[in-house]
A and B are shown apart, each in its own frame.
Chain A
């Protein structure tokens, strides 16, 4: 069985044969270097690639770090990857130029089984024989297989239902906001805004930078940063414009109009639209997996810096909502994560709890502005965020969605 591993960021199908990391060991592994740093290797292992041939005679040497000299005997551009046999997880990958010799440094683990995948542009992908690296004990270290698209479909469908439920709740909350704004009740409108915004964040969208909703996501929850005219720009819309209306300008008339526009935008996110925005494709799945850490990365960048605060002082409450969204991702993916990194989910859960504790330690209602926190309160929140992020960052690399063919 040949396994193609989908990269999380690559766009083209060909470039998508990229991924890093093996599945064994802890979550934080530096990736081996691929060029000049490898010059201190004792020997260079030659590998040949040609039209229809991929590393003929490949046999794995003993465990250790190697420098391979890969000769492309064809007149085509291409790429070669060293992958773990069985899982298809790519260990290293390098581009090949026509007729050129490319050097690739890689670490071969004892007991591992490896193969080469060769791709020359315009030709079908070819694969070398399997070669196993001996281990001192003589046993084979099995690689964990990548997650199949069929397996990930279940959690993604459950996530869609989670999103649909929150969007329905948010419609009610935004309707309340519109009523309060129309009735001239500033405090009531602010409280309704907060509820609706936290519901949005629990979806795990933030400003849509990584989200499936694209430009619509930005218009729903983007800031004025980057807009010509800043807060005066007509393109400044959505939750943060409403925050600006309510807390900074105390303008309930503007708030009522902006709520109407926001309602229209969020109403367009029907269950059918959500399904279309989060399709059961490899790319969509890979992007979705990134949310395991990128929801919190966004929070660190925007909320903990107070860059997205337009007066509500709700950044800590937003962070707690982002934690809730992250937890939902972990819950949906826990079986797949645990199969690869056994203690990661428990560690992340513990760290996310510590983060919530740190948030709650800042005072009542999570209502303190970031800039008004004491140094030690702020440092506790930042430290807890950083710890959780360090644990979560490798998840999307560990779970690679594969298209088996």
Chain B
């Protein structure tokens, strides 16, 4: 089954329309008139709309530029809401795979810019679900496309073009990977200012592509507001992501984040980044039964401030060399194993962009919540895998369980209006 080409073309044609009126005044105009002066039975009368409490469309985030040398949604400061969706691709051949990625590009280009969906006439289903209103706001939307190693199997003749380190994510000791939420040919990381924007994007993408790719697993996430300041907290209540390298510095980015020329990767992959996504379940009931001191010793930071145990502020750098026996920060504390802060281990640093998830209740009555661990790096083996090996057996493992996710490769950016996702990979 092939892509609905008409859909794709109409959406692509719209991409030039910018969302100058997104954030319109749909909810302006003051409060709705109170239901006064009628003699209806009060049980059948609607209450006044409390418009003050409804989301303000003007509060939507500004558009994030879609085109560039690398994809948006990596350096982009994490937006509050995210959908992670991993797809299995059923394109019949390489040409259909090209169609899929061109179509995906068109939808993403339109949605990230925002605008008015085309009116397809009174008899056709609307071209847009309409859940964001008649004018689609950009709302900081980013659609980051990553590919899994399975896309490089025999189906599309891509085996020789596979990024050097891309493979199926192995099961590390302490992992409990569920095949139903692990792997996939193509991962979409959809982030936006609010959940409805992210879900709308997933819905629009899915309906235009569901004939050739199906969702294998998906998980929604959120970034908590600063509580009360600084880096957001995860469900263990600790600030997560404090020690990220400064990848906005091009020197750091070119050593830790982006695939560059001359490091043994295929030419098409330059500007891409290895994308590790792991669904890490947290046993928060168990965690909540642990004393604060023990929690802090396991992490190596103060829960409330985020400061390392040898410091005052979350921005303080722990000085492990001054504490060689772990008197202050235990030798097996998470922050010490994850980032020992030595010249030998600095090249293994990863860039994290995690989201909290919360999805109902487990069979044993525990809340099913955790972290969508989400990290980008230049070299999967040198960075994520080296870091993960250091963490094997840390005291924290009793309180968390990686249950899914996978290894992916975030494609290079879509550079121009003529460009499309994975063009360098798929064009001869």
B319 / chain A contacts, CB cutoff of 8 Å: 77, 97
* Contact present for B365 and A37 (CB under 8 Å): no
Question: CB of B363 within 8 A of chain A?
Answer: yes
Report the bound CA distance from A307 to B363 in whole Å.
10
Q: How far is the CA of A289 from the CA of B289 in the complex (A)?
A: 15
The answer to whether A31 and B292 touch across the interface, beta carbons within 8 angstroms, is: yes
CB distance from A310 to the nearest CB of B (A): 14
Residues of A near B310 (CB, < 8 A) are: 77, 95, 97
Q: How many residues of A contact B (CB 8 A)?
A: 59
Q: Which of A31, A34, A230, A386 contacts B365 (CB 8 A)?
A: A386
Interface string of A88-109 (1 = CB under 8 A from B): 0000010111101011000000
Asked if B22 is at the interface (CB within 8 A of a chain A CB), the reply is no
CA distance A98 to B331 in the complex (A): 20
Q: How far is the CB of B310 from chain A (nearest CB, A)?
A: 5
| In the complex, chain A residues 1-36 whose Cβ is within 8 Å of any chain B Cβ | 7-12, 14-15, 18-21, 30-31, 33-36
Number of B residues near A (Cβ < 8 Å) is 46
A249: CB under 8 A from chain B?
Answer: no
Most chain B Cβ neighbours within 10 Å, of A35, A98, A119:
A35
B398 touches A10 (CB 8 A): no
Query: Which of A77, A379, A386 contacts B285, CB < 8 Å?
Result: A386
Residues on A with beta carbons closer than 8 Å to the beta carbon of B176:
225-226, 307
Q: Is A300 touching B363 in the complex (CB atoms < 8 A)?
A: no
B327 with A119: CB separation less than 8 A:
yes
CA distance A93 to B309 in the complex (A): 10
Given A77-B322, A300-B364, A305-B362: A9 and B297 within 8 A (CB)?
yes
The smallest beta-carbon distance between B380 and chain A, in angstroms, is 17
A12 contacts B325, C-beta separation under 8 Å = yes
Cβ A226 vs Cβ B173 within 8 A: yes
- Interface contact A300-B366, CB-CB below 8 Å: yes
* Distance (whole angstroms) from the CB of B304 to the closest CB of chain A: 5
CA distance A31 to B329 in the complex (A): 19
Confirm or deny: B110 has a beta carbon within 8 angstroms of a beta carbon on chain A.
no
- Name the segment of A174-182, A189-197, A389-397 touching the other chain: A389-397
A285 CB → nearest B CB, Å: 17
Cβ of B327 and Cβ of A78 under 8 Å apart?
Answer: yes
Complex contact B170–A228 (CB within 8 A): yes
B66 lies within 8 A of chain A by Cβ: no
How distant is A76 from chain B, measured CB to nearest CB, in Å? 9
Specify which of A18, A370, A371 is in contact with B297 (CB 8 Å cutoff). A18
State whether A393 touches B365 (Cβ < 8 A).
no
Also in contact, A14 and B398, with CB within 8 A (given A31-B292, A225-B176, A300-B364): no
When each residue 325-351 of chain B gets 1 if its CB lies under 8 Å from chain A and 0 otherwise, what string results? 111111110000000000000000000
| B304 & A389 in contact (Cβ 8 Å cutoff) | no
Q: How far is the CA of A223 from the CA of B285 in the complex (A)?
A: 22
The distance in angstroms between the C-alpha atoms of A68 and B173, with both chains bound, is 43
- In the complex, A293 has a CB within 8 A of chain B: yes
Note all chain B residues with C-beta closer than 8 A to A297. 286, 289
CA distance A233 to B305 in the complex (A): 44
Q: Is B231 an interface residue (CB 8 A)?
A: no
In the complex, B174 has a CB within 8 A of chain A: yes
Q: Is A258 an interface residue (CB 8 A)?
A: no
Q: Is A264 an interface residue (CB 8 A)?
A: no
A370 touches B363 (CB 8 A): yes
What's the least CB distance linking B266 to chain A, in Å?
A: 27
What chain A residues lie within 8 Å of B325 (beta carbons)? Answer: 12, 14, 121
Q: Does B24 contact A (CB under 8 A)?
A: no
- Return the contact of B293 from the options A18, A370, A382 (Cβ within 8 A): A18
Q: What's the minimum C-beta distance from B88 to chain A, rounded to whole angstroms?
A: 20
Task: Please indicate the chain B residues that have their CB under 8 angstroms from the CB of A329 in the complex.
Answer: none
Instruction: Give the shortest distance, in Å, between A77 (CB) and chain B (any CB).
Output: 5
* Alpha-carbon separation in the docked complex, A123 to B20 (Å): 68
**A contact residues vs B (CB 8 Å cutoff):** 7-12, 14-15, 18-21, 30-31, 33-37, 77-79, 93, 95-98, 100, 102-103, 119, 121, 209-210, 225-228, 230, 293, 297, 300-301, 304-307, 370-371, 378-379, 382-383, 385-386, 389-390, 393, 397
- Listed from nearest, the 10 A-B pairs whose CB atoms lie closest are A382-B365, A304-B364, A393-B289, A95-B328, A225-B176, A20-B291, A31-B292, A14-B327, A35-B305, A20-B293
